Amino acid sequence: MAARDNKCQRCHASICCNYFTQALDTPRSKADFELLLWQISHQHAEIYKDSDGWFLLINSTCLHLQQDGTCGIYTQRPQICRDYSNDYCEFDAPATDGFDLYFKNYASLLDYCRQRFKTWGR
């Protein structure tokens, strides 16, 4: 992740340093989805589901990312950054390829809620 080996050097957007995710409890009830609708109402927030479950995705650049694409705290970077391998990463294929569900905004999640709960809004 943002190491300066050849592959990351070619990844000019430093894709993996421009967002973070947070695991969500699997939403089941209307109340659960109401909470997600509130979360996705915020700027830069998206929600997806993949084989690992539901996640909040916040598109926000890491403050340690330098203009040249290097990590400003590379030797002390967080463990999750150390664990992230560039063997097959988002430079090779977009993460969205693995998404079962992907909500980019409030409207798309609201549509899903209306389809999932026939009594939504009543």
Which chain residues interact with ligand SF4 by CB under 6 A? 1-2, 7-8, 11, 14-17, 62, 64-65, 71, 73, 77-78, 81, 86, 89-91
Q: How far is the CB of 23 from ligand SF4 (least distance, A)?
A: 17
Q: How many C-beta atoms lie closer than 10 Å to residue 95's C-beta?
A: 16
Give dist(CA 51, CA 49) in Å, integer: 7
| Total residues belonging to the chain | 122
Alpha helices in 25-92 (DSSP H): 30-39, 79-83
Q: How far is the CB of 65 from ligand SF4 (least distance, A)?
A: 4
Which residue number, 54 or 77, has a Cβ lying nearer to ligand SF4?
77
Q: Residue 46: beta bridge partners?
A: 57
Which residue number, 12 or 122, has a Cβ lying nearer to ligand SF4?
12
